[in-house]
A and B are shown apart, each in its own frame.
Chain A
Amino acid sequence: MLADKHRETIEAILAKYPPAQRRSAVMPLLHLAQQERGHVAPEDLEEIAALLGISPTQVGSLVGFYSLYYDRPGGKYRLQICTDLPCALRGAQAFAQALCDRLGIEIGGTTADGLISVEAVMCLAACDRAPVFQVQDPSGLHYHEDQTVDSALQFVEALRKGIGRG
C-alpha cells in the first residue's frame, strides 16, 4: 500500500489543492505509485481511487492517456530518445537505431537483463542539444543531452555496474 509507506508525501500532495478538489491529486499520486513499482498496477488504481473518492476506471483512463504512465513493467530504466523533427534533423533517428543495435534490441524493446528499455518519444524541449534522451526510473526523470552512441553506452554500462554493486 502506498499509504503505509508514503503517508507524509501523500498528505503534502493533497494539501496543494482545495479540500473539495482532491481529484487534482490524481496525477502526482500516479507518479508516486509508478516510482514505487516502475509501472502502475491495478491495486494502485484501487488505492488512489479510494483516496480521492473517484472510480478506479477514472484513474486508469489517465494511465492510458498520458505518455509517461505505464500499465505494465518494462526495463528498470526507461531511456526515452527524442526523434521528433528538430532532433531528427540533427541525427537523432540514426542515434536511436545505432544505440539499439549496440544493445541488441529493437527500438521499443528491453535488454535481456531487464534493466534498460529504449523508446523513441516526442519532443523533450531540448532541441538545441540533440541527440537527447531522458531516463525515467524510480528516482524520477532526468535529461541527458548532447549525446553520442559511445556516451550513451557508457551511461548504460554505469547503470549495469551500479546494479552489480548493489
Chain B
Amino acid sequence: MAEHVVLRHREIPGLERLEVYLEHGGFEALRRAVTKTTPQEVIEEVKASGLRGRGGAGFPTGVKWSFLTPNVFPRYVVANADESEPGTFKDREILERNPFQFLEGVAICAYAAQAEVAYVYLRGEFWDVAQELDGHLASLRERGLLGKGLFGTEYNLAVHTHLGAGAYICGEETALLESLEGKLGQPRLRPPFPAAEGLYGKPTVINNVETLANLPPILARGAAWYRTMGTEKSPGTKVFSLSGKVVRPGNYELALGTTFRELIFSHGGGIPDGRKAKGILPAGASSVILPADERILDTPMDYEAVQAAGSALGSASVIVLDETTDLAWVAMKTSRFFKHESCGKCTPCREGTYWMLHLAERVERGEARLEDIDLLDTVARQIQGKCLCALGEFSTMPVVSAIASFRADFASRVADGR
C-alpha cells in the first residue's frame, strides 16, 4: 500500500491546524518555489511528475498550465471544490482534514500560472467547510503566507472562497466560470478554452481539490519520487471513494493501478452478509457499469486499464452493487439525478434525460412493455455526441451499459402478457 500523499492527516493528528502543518514542513514547498524557482520551472516539475487531473478527466496538470496564453494578464486560478458526483466524497475530506496542504497547492498553482488572485469555488452544501477555509485564509494572511510581497519577493497572492448553491453542472469548468461570474451555471462553447479565455475573459487555470493537494509533496520531494508510485502513464496515488454495498465504505488513498479486488475486498471488507458483487460503477453515476466478474475485479484502477475494460476511472468514485441490486432501479436512480441536474442549455440532454427518466420509471414500476427497453436504449443513444459538455454523455452511460450487461433485470420487470 502506497503512503498517504494527500490524506496525510490520517497519520498526523491535528494537521488541520496551521501550527501542526507548519511543524511538518508546511509552506516550505511554496517558499522554495517563489524564492528559488521560476514559474516555468514549477510547471516543468509538475509535468515531469506526470500528475493528472483528479477531478475526472485525467488530463496532465502541467500540460494544462502550459496552455495559458502568454503575456496576457491578469490571470486567475480557480480551485474546483464543487464535488457533486454521486459516489464522490474525497475533496470534502481533504478540505476538512488537510486544508492547508490544499491551500498551499492553490498558491503553488497560482505562482506557476502567474496569477495574483485565486478563487475556491465550493458547492453550496459545503457551507461549514467554506467558513473554516475563510478562517484558515485569515491565519495565512496574518502569517504573511498569503498577501502582498510573499517571502520578500514581488509576488502577491489573494485567495477567496465562493459558495455555489446546488448545481452538479458547476463542476464542469466552463459552467463553474459562468457561475462565478454571477450567471446561470451553463457550459460555454469551446474553444476558446479557459487557458485562453476563462474567468472574466482572462487566461485561467481550473484544477480539482485533490490535484492541487498533490502539488506541495511533488515540489517538496520531486517528480521522480512521485513516479515511484502508480503506473508509468498514471503515476502517483489516487483517493478512491468507495460506497454502496461494501462493509467499510470510505476514502482509500492507494497507488493508481491497485485492483478493484484489493479496494473492495482488502480495504472495503468485501460485500455485506457474504453476498456476491454484481456490478461496479468506477466513476460514480457517470459510469459505464461493469459486471463484477473475475476479470473486472482483477483490473488495475488506472486511467488506461479501466478504459480498456470498457469504462473510465473518472474521479474514482467506486460504487459497488451486489446480487440484490436491480439494475433497472439503478438506471432509474441515475436518470433521476441527471434529469434534475441537466442545465437545460442543450436540447438533447434536457429533453433526453426527461424521457430517459420517464421510461426508466415505467420499467421500474413494472408497467413497461418489452419494446420500451429498446426505446430507453434508443433515447439514450440519441443524446450521445450531441451536447456541449459531458453531462449529457454521462447520463446515458449507466443506462446503456445496464441494458447491455444486465438486460434480464429489465426484462423481468416487463408487464405480463407483453
Contact = CB atoms under 8 A, between A and B. Distances in A.
A45 interface: no
A27 interface: yes
A31 interface: yes
Nearest to A29: B182
Contacts of B181: 21, 23-24
A23 B243 CA distance: 39
A142 B200 contact: no
A23 B317 CA distance: 34
Contact of B330 (A25, A68, A85): A85
Contacts of A121: 166
Given A25-B182, A52-B182, A122-B341, A140 B87 contact: no
Nearest to B117: A18
A128 B249 contact: yes
B184 A61 contact: yes
Interface in A111-129: 121-128
Contacts of A123: 84-88, 168, 285, 337
12 contacts: A16-B119, A16-B162, A23-B181, A67-B165, A68-B166, A85-B319, A86-B87, A89-B319, A89-B321, A122-B340, A123-B88, A130-B243
Given A27-B165, A89-B244, A128-B251, A66 B124 contact: yes
Contacts of B125: 68, 124-125, 134, 141, 143
A30 interface: yes
B89 A89 contact: no
Most central of A23, A27, A30 by chain B CB within 10 Å: A27
A36 interface: no
A66 B164 contact: yes
A127 B241 contact: yes
A158 interface: no
B418 to A, nearest CB: 28
Contacts of B146: none
Interface string B67-80: 00000000000000
The binding surface of chain A is classed by DSSP as mixed
Contact of B165 (A23, A54, A69, A142): A69
Interface string A132-166: 00100000111100000000000000000000000
Contacts of A52: 182
Interface in A77-109: 84-86, 88-90
Nearest to B119: A16
A160 B112 CA distance: 52
A67 B166 contact: yes
B285 A85 contact: yes
B334 interface: yes
3 smallest CB-CB distances across A and B, nearest first, come from A67-B166, A66-B165, A23-B182
Nearest to A26: B182
Nearest to B244: A89
B225 interface: no
Contacts of B245: 89
A75 to B, nearest CB: 17
B160 interface: yes
A140 B131 CA distance: 10
Nearest to A124: B125
A65 B167 CA distance: 8
A53 B182 CA distance: 12
B188 to A, nearest CB: 16
B267 interface: no
A66 B182 contact: no
Given A68-B166, A86-B87, A122-B340, 17 more contacts: A16-B160, A24-B181, A28-B162, A54-B182, A85-B330, A89-B245, A122-B84, A122-B166, A123-B84, A123-B88, A125-B84, A125-B88, A125-B123, A128-B249, A140-B127, A141-B124, A142-B127
Contacts of B166: 66-69, 121-122
A84 B341 CA distance: 12
B165 A68 contact: yes
Contacts of B243: 86, 89-90, 127-128, 130
Given A52-B182, A122-B86, A128 B242 contact: yes
Contacts of A90: 243-244, 249
Contacts of A85: 86-87, 244, 281, 285, 319, 330, 333-334, 337
